[in-house]
């Protein structure tokens, strides 16, 4: 296929917005996941009998199990948010073409 003189490949790519929002979102999501890991580890350690982990908050097994569950929930939310920010940052560099024209990756 012969390329015309007016063809510019840069028009196929969309204008990329500044990526500081996605980077900041990914950093906050990583911090959220890290905090979730630490909180769930503290809750599990309190359940296993290390009572000095949570200090005065470790009054019952219900509180320790609540810390573990909240920590796992924060970990899940942080990982999902991080994956969404990463996916959004990668799709900014894709070609701006119709999906049925792109090559399928199976």
Report the chain (106 residues): mean pLDDT per 10 consecutive residues. 63 66 91 95 84 68 88 96 85 61 61
Domain ranges of the chain: 22-93
pLDDT at 104: 63
Burial status of residue 35 (CB atoms within 10 A of its CB: 0-12, 13-18, 19 or more): middle
Rounded Cα gap, residues 65 and 48, in angstroms:
10
Note whether 64 and 29 are within 8 A (CB). no
pLDDT at 69: 95
pLDDT at 15: 62
**Which residue has tokens 């007016």?**
6
pLDDT at 38: 94
């Amino acid at each position: 296929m012969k390329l015309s003189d007016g063809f510019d490949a840069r028009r196929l790519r969309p204008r990329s917005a500044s990526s500081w929002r996605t980077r900041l979102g990914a950093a906050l999501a990583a911090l959220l996941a890290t905090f979730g890991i630490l909180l769930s580890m503290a809750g599990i350690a309190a359940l296993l009998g290390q009572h000095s982990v949570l200090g005065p908050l470790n009054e019952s097994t219900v509180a320790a199990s609540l810390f573990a569950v909240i920590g796992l929930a924060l970990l899940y939310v942080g990982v999902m948010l991080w994956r969404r920010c990463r996916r959004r940052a990668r799709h900014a560099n894709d070609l701006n073409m119709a999906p049925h024209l792109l090559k399928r990756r199976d």
